[in-house]
Amino acid sequence: MPLALAPSLSWLAPPLCWGCSGPARRAEPLCGHCRGSFQRLAAEPVSLSGVAVWAPVAYAGPARELVRALKFRGARGVADAMAAQIVANAPPDLLPRGALVPVPLHPRRLRSRGYNQAAEIAAAIARRTGLEVAVRLARSGSTATQVGRARAERRVGPAGAIEPVGRAPTRVVLVDDVVTTGATLAACRAALLGAGSAEVRAVVFARTLGR
């Protein structure tokens, strides 16, 4: 994985690709080869745990490295590249309407990480589309993540509880970085419907396949 350069030396070397550690163009998190190796997914949403979810790419290879860079390595700038893939390839009727609601992060994890990766992607989508970002969900209880949990445990639902914050928008597009079973999105959808939403769909950057 790319290593951070000292500020005085960063201008001497080209930016590095998060996928292969090779040279990348400035302001681009991936080189052309890694960008071209995304495993593209179908243009139509899929149903996961009762939620209509759409992702442009599979959670594999360079896409997986981008997710890890954003979530675990502090590379907040890659959120814009993820949003670009979502906006450029989303079904025509998916993004033009509805408020963008990021999947919440537990407050303790938010303090530790310093930001919510889903909120970073939602903000980048908003800049490209003009849609509103509405923070209408909060997480409480356990701080455990979905990472490392068995698929059967994931299907039961996320660790902890997801609760609405205020009245929810009528139409919602949930936003997250990656989806596996859809259990977290389903919990978010249930909370939003209970708080007044009439329609809840979701976009994520990457979707896990074959698990």
Q: Which DSSP string corresponds to 83-127?
A: HHHHHHHS-TTTSSSSEEEEPP--HHHHHHHSS-HHHHHHHHHHH
Closest alpha carbon to 49 in 150, 172, 196, 200: 200
**Residue 142 and residue 160: Cα distance in Å, rounded?**
4
Among 207, 211, 187, which Cα is nearest to 50's? 187
Report pLDDT digits (tens) over 37-85: 999 999 999 999 999 999 999 999 999 999 999 999 999 999 999 999 9
- CATH for 42-207? 3.40.50
Looking from the CA of 65 toward its CB, the CA atoms found within 13 Å total 17
In whole numbers, what is the pLDDT of the chain averaged over residues?
88
pLDDT above 90: residue 115: yes
Q: What is the pTM of this model?
A: 0.85
d(CA 169, CA 134): 8
CA distance 171 to 124: 19
* Model pLDDT, residue 15: 83
Q: How many helices (H) and strands (E) does the chain have?
A: 7, 8
Query: Can you tell me the mean pLDDT for 145-172?
Result: 71
Q: Above pLDDT 70, what percent of the chain?
A: 84
Ranges of each domain in the chain: 42-207
On the question of pLDDT at 187 being above 50, the answer is: yes
Q: How far is Cα 194 from Cα 42, in angstroms, rounded to an integer?
A: 31
- Give the integer Cα–Cα distance in Å for 41 and 206: 9
Beta bridge partners of 83: none
